[in-house]
Amino acid sequence: MINFIIRRILQAIPVIWGVMTISFLLMNVAPGDPVRAMVGDYYDDSTLETLREEMGLNESLGMQYVNFISNVCKGNLGKSFMTQRFVIEDLKQKVPFTLQLALGAMLIAVPMGILLGVFAAINRGKLIDRILIIISLAGVSAPVFWVALLLILIVGIQLQWLPPTGFGGIKFLILPAIALGTRSMAMLARTSRAYMLDVLKEDYIRTALAKGLSQRVVLFKHGLRNVLIPLITIVAADFGSYLSGAVLTESIFGWPGVGRFALNAIMKRDFPVIQGTVLFMALIFVLINIIVDICYAWVDPRVREKMIYE
Amino acid sequence: MDYDKSHKFIGMFYRIFFIFLYILIVGGCGVKPNSKQLNLIMPGDPKNIDPAYATDVRTGQLCTLLYDNLVRFGNGAELLPGLSESWEISEDGLKYLFSIRDSVLFQDGKILQCSDIKKSFERILDPKTKSHRKWLFKNVNGATEFSLGNSESVTGFSCEDDNKLQIELIQPFAPFLGFLAMPSASIIYVSKSGKIVGTGPWKLKEWIHDGHILLDRNSDYFDGAPKLEYLKIRILPEVLPRTAEFVTGYLDIMEVPESEFSIWSKDPEWSPNIKYQDDLNIFYLGLNCSRPPFNDVKVRRAVNYAIDVQRIIDKVKNGNAIPASGPIPPGLIRPYPPIKYGFNPQRAKELLALSGYADGLEIELWQSQSSKLLYVTEAIQAQLEAVGIHVKIVRNDWNMYSKAVTEGVPDMYYRSWYADYPDAENFLAPLFESEISERRWTRYSNKDLDKLIDKIQTTTDEKQRQIYIHEASSILIDDVPWVYLWHTRTAYISQPNLLGWSPSLMFNAEKYIQVTKND
């Protein structure tokens, strides 16, 4: 297993390098000028030129790239052009908030989604199943900003149960977590229902029931376990995307996460911040993919054996 | 397989649901806005707390709370004493002598002295600081040498004693006092640990970037400590959440969103709390004067005639603006010039025909990405279409848009300009001086106007200045390098229990010292 993890980490290095290189090239060929965004409306050409020189923007693209990669290798992501703060410091402040939101969304989405899916599956064809299908379809289709605004209007303004926006405790986390997690929840419900229906037709389920095992044991120990692999894939993909920034949710709820940080940097052509956030996102996806592979092995003995064999 | 006994699952589902509901309600209970805290909002994070980099409104507003200037803006266009209790200007307009207040303390307890002010100004000019606001002091004697690293200090800043600062200019510059009230002219010192320390009424307690800024009151503030204990600035880019925060009492003052103005202003409960502020700004369409069709003044005038500004104000801006006759807002030019180009599509067509565009013409109108601006540009597009000018709207993010304007790409661009200091010169020199205009804006050039701007800058007699300002304004109204659209009026709404606050003309005037709340 350790060999497998080491191998995956080594495989990830070219992936991260590729992501960094592509994002570096894209940002440098994209139109726009970070220096103008820095100085505002008052400037003269000599100020712009001095700043470009100081920021290393006058060097050739190749030299800028070499400097950039060598700094990243030293763990130095540089300073933001706009704020003059170290990118790593800002990321340190923002990552915990992003993690909080992503975990909150997953804590709501995963148990609720799976439970609803299983519940719909065992009630196949009944009214409750149809209602749940419609709800999950709505959940998948509803844009996150619409769900967010609806939650603010109903829970925040009309009922006043929770503060409409903000951060700093569980009461602030609930609404953005629901808004962000709704789509995942609906997706998980639909997927778990579909797979559960297939599994419930299997002989081993019938056998287990015939042995006199309780429905709960049959469903959760024998049924759900076989549904987990596709569910893990969905959870991992969503969790990865939440960690790399839920821009809309963060903007609407005033959540100070990585997504807004990256978006603001893109708008202002703040290259060091863009590179820093892209690197962070790439690392997150690589890490999650490794964790997913480990989870597959944990859930499915066949995968585990294959890993050991390899 | 029969799963009728799925009630166990239903039970489990309900248990989870009710636990969740319990957290929701219990978590929500006791969430009350803090009555000792003033809650404000910003649409985005300020850049920095270092005034040397205060090039945007938000950073400027934050600097105003944390630091003080020698002079400060009042509620209107007036300049009031700040860290200097009085000042004298020599007859030739070259020397400014400031009397510094006694016993002003920095927030770490250090006593303010004249040398701190001198160092603070020199810091802006110091090449090591890499400030983007060096131009504030470029007219000070010795500033250029110092900023190039050729001298040890700026000879134009001198301390007669601990409480007397003299600033000597190279040539008279009437708006100079206004410069001293700008955020980058804040008085600070950098402590040994590298921390920036000011004398302002609020102290920085916590800054979660893109989240909030929490400030504590400075109990030793020289002008009396703020009445409220805390000030919290939330960073919320979206409009609806801001409204939600305000409705639920988590926000004390809010700029009424244009899209919601009719709702708030018609609500009998809230409308008495709406306060209006005429802004020192101009919204305009810049016309590229360097190439056809707008190198022809007749076409520029035709466009001015073709746009029904009042109609757009009424329909899009909720009536919260006044039509502009020229670039300078009312209050900075007295009397305000009458509108020369009223809505007259027939006249517009005649002028276009005279210029050889009887069959119409096609132009590009550039704007930044904001969809809010599209309401305006689409209205303009429709009105110009009616006189045969086919407009293609080009939207780009601010950075690309701004670069394109600088490079002279758009035929026409929609923009605004807000005062950095309340002086007509601020609406002339940075926008129309030939050297700047040709390099960055409309490419409009007029040597007579340049001479007038120079006189406006160097004349200290206000009556004479107003004459020059009118002459400059007349040239710009005749030559119309812009379509002059409007000067806005902003509606603010505050909580009914908030006392001691009214909107200010300048973005960096308000320090919220007298603001308090009724329990």
Query: Going residue by residue through chain B (519 aa), what tens digit of pLDDT does each one get?
Result: 444 445 555 556 556 666 665 665 555 554 567 889 999 999 999 988 999 989 889 999 999 999 999 999 999 989 999 999 999 999 999 999 999 999 899 999 999 999 999 999 999 999 888 888 899 999 999 999 999 999 999 999 999 999 999 999 999 999 999 999 999 999 999 999 999 999 999 999 999 999 999 999 999 999 999 999 999 999 998 888 899 999 999 999 999 998 899 999 999 999 999 999 999 999 999 999 999 999 999 999 999 999 999 999 999 999 999 999 999 999 899 999 999 999 999 999 999 999 999 999 999 999 998 888 999 999 999 999 999 999 999 998 887 898 899 999 999 999 999 999 999 999 999 999 999 999 999 999 999 999 999 999 999 899 999 999 999 999 999 999 999 999 999 999 999 999 999 999 999 999 999 999 987
φ and ψ at B339, to 5 degrees?
-70, 125
**Can you tell me the distance from the alpha carbon of A188 to that of B66, in angstroms, rounded to the nearest whole number?**
49
Q: Which helix (H) or strand (E) holds B438?
A: helix B434-440
Q: Do A36 and B403 touch (CB under 8 A)?
A: yes
**Can you tell me the distance from the alpha carbon of B311 to that of B329, in angstroms, rounded to the nearest whole number?**
20
Q: Is residue A20 a part of any domain in this protein?
A: yes
pLDDT for B31 = 55
Q: Which amino acid, one-letter code, is at B485? A: L
Instruction: Give yes or no for a contact between B345 and B288, defined as CB atoms under 8 angstroms apart.
Output: no
Tokens 């909580």, located at residue: B495
Q: Which helix (H) or strand (E) holds B214?
A: strand B212-217
* B22: contact with A, CB 8 A cutoff: no
ipTM score = 0.82
> Is the N-terminal amide bond of A176 cis, ω within 30° of 0?
no
Q: Is residue A297 a part of any domain in this protein?
A: no
Residues A66, A108, single domain; the answer is: no
Residues A153, A60, single domain; the answer is: no
A245 closest CA partner among A208, A277, A267: A277
pLDDT for B30 = 47
A47 closest CB neighbour out of B48, B132, B240: B132
Q: Which helix (H) or strand (E) holds B152?
A: none
Q: Is residue A260 a part of any domain in this protein?
A: yes
**Can you tell me the distance from the alpha carbon of A221 to that of A226, in angstroms, rounded to the nearest whole number?**
9
Please report the residues numbered 369 through 408 in chain B whose beta carbons come closer than 8 angstroms to any beta carbon of chain A.
397-400, 402-403, 406
Residues A153, A110, single domain; the answer is: yes
B1 closest CB neighbour out of A112, A160, A200: A200
Give the closest-approach CA distance of A141 to chain B in angstroms.
22
Give the closest-approach CA distance of B316 to chain A in angstroms.
24
Q: Is residue A237 a part of any domain in this protein?
A: yes
- Residues from chain B that touch A205, judged by Cβ atoms under 8 A, are 1
Residues A67, A100, single domain; the answer is: no
Q: Which residues pair with B396 in a beta bridge?
A: B368
- Residues from chain A that touch B25, judged by Cβ atoms under 8 A, are 161
CATH code for position A114: 1.10.3720.10
Angle at A285 between CA A279 and CA A287, to 5 degrees: 100
Distance of CA B281 to the CA centre of its chain: 8
Write the DSSP assignment of chain A as a string of letters. Answer: -HHHHHHHHHHHHHHHHHHHHHHHHHHHHSS--HHHHHHTT---HHHHHHHHHHTTTTS-HHHHHHHHHHHHHTT---B-TTT--BHHHHHHHHHHHHHHHHHHHHHHHHHHHHHHHHHHHHTTTSHHHHHHHHHHHHHHHS-HHHHHHHHIIIIIIIS--S-SS--SSHHHHHHHHHHHHHHHHHHHHHHHHHHHHHHHTSHHHHHHHHTT--HHHIIIIIIHHHHHHHHHHHHHHHHHHHHT--HHHHHHHT---HHHHHHHHHHHT-HHHHHHHHHHHHHHHHHHHHHHHHHHHHH-HHHHHHHHH-
Instruction: Give yes or no for a contact between B392 and B141, defined as CB atoms under 8 angstroms apart.
Output: no
Residues A159, A205, single domain; the answer is: yes
Give the closest-approach CA distance of B438 to chain A in angstroms.
12
- Residues from chain A that touch B439, judged by Cβ atoms under 8 A, are 45
Residues A10, A128, single domain; the answer is: no
**How is residue B102 written in tokens?**
């006694």
3-state secondary structure of B350: helix
**Can you tell me the distance from the alpha carbon of A138 to that of A161, in angstroms, rounded to the nearest whole number?**
24
Q: Do B1 and A205 touch (CB under 8 A)?
A: yes
Q: Which residues pair with A79 in a beta bridge?
A: A86
Q: Do B403 and A149 touch (CB under 8 A)?
A: no
Residues A153, A205, single domain; the answer is: yes
**Can you tell me the distance from the alpha carbon of B474 to that of B471, in angstroms, rounded to the nearest whole number?**
5
What's the pTM value of the predicted model, to 2 decimals? 0.86
**Chain B, nearest residue to A107 by Cα:** B20
**Can you tell me the distance from the alpha carbon of B87 to that of B166, in angstroms, rounded to the nearest whole number?**
9
B198 closest CA partner among B74, B54, B69: B69
Q: Is residue A275 a part of any domain in this protein?
A: no
* B208: contact with A, CB 8 A cutoff: yes
**Can you tell me the distance from the alpha carbon of B271 to that of A132, in angstroms, rounded to the nearest whole number?**
44
pLDDT for A286 = 87
pLDDT for B20 = 62
Q: Which of A57, A86, A211, A215 to mutate to test the interface with B (most CBs of B within 10 A)?
A: A215
B47 closest CB neighbour out of A44, A83, A267: A83
Instruction: Give yes or no for a contact between A82 and A267, defined as CB atoms under 8 angstroms apart.
Output: no
Residues A153, A260, single domain; the answer is: yes
Residues A47, A128, single domain; the answer is: no
* B206: contact with A, CB 8 A cutoff: no
Residues A18, A53, single domain; the answer is: yes
B490 closest CA partner among B197, B256, B293: B256
pLDDT digits (tens, 9 = 90+) for A18-68: 988 988 888 777 777 777 777 777 777 777 787 788 778 888 888 888 988
Q: Do B6 and A32 touch (CB under 8 A)?
A: no
Write the DSSP assignment of B114-151 as a string of letters. Answer: HHHHHHHHHHHH-TTTT-S-GGGGTTBTTHHHHHTT-S
* B92: contact with A, CB 8 A cutoff: no
Q: Is residue A283 a part of any domain in this protein?
A: no
Q: Is residue A43 a part of any domain in this protein?
A: yes
**Can you tell me the distance from the alpha carbon of A253 to that of B244, in angstroms, rounded to the nearest whole number?**
10
Write the DSSP assignment of B366-411 as a string of letters. Answer: EEES-HHHHHHHHHHHHHHHTTTEEEEEEEE-HHHHHHHHHTT--S
Residues A160, A110, single domain; the answer is: yes
Tokens 């030019």, located at residue: B333
Q: Is residue A280 a part of any domain in this protein?
A: no
Q: Do B9 and A205 touch (CB under 8 A)?
A: no
Q: Do B399 and A112 touch (CB under 8 A)?
A: no
Instruction: Tell me the pLDDT of chain A (310 aa) as tens digits.
Output: 777 778 878 888 898 889 889 888 887 777 777 777 777 777 777 777 877 887 788 888 888 889 888 888 888 888 888 888 899 999 999 999 999 999 999 999 999 999 999 989 989 999 999 999 999 999 999 999 999 999 999 999 999 899 999 998 889 999 999 999 999 999 999 999 999 999 988 898 889 888 888 888 888 878 888 888 889 888 998 998 888 778 899 989 989 999 989 988 888 888 889 888 988 888 888 888 888 888 888 777 777 777 666 6
Domain count, chain A: 2
Q: Are strands B212-217 and B230-235 parallel, antiparallel or unpaired?
A: antiparallel
Instruction: Give yes or no for a contact between B96 and B166, defined as CB atoms under 8 angstroms apart.
Output: yes
Q: Which helix (H) or strand (E) holds B107?
A: none
- Residues from chain A that touch B409, judged by Cβ atoms under 8 A, are none
Residues A43, A126, single domain; the answer is: no
Of A10, A38, A73, at which residue does a domain stop? A73
Please report the residues numbered 324 through 363 in chain B whose beta carbons come closer than 8 angstroms to any beta carbon of chain A.
none
Q: Which helix (H) or strand (E) holds B2?
A: none
What is the span of the domain harbouring residue A17?
2-73
Q: What interhelical angle do B447-458 and B462-479 show, nearest 10?
A: 160
Handedness of CA B464, B466, B472, B474 (dihedral sign): negative
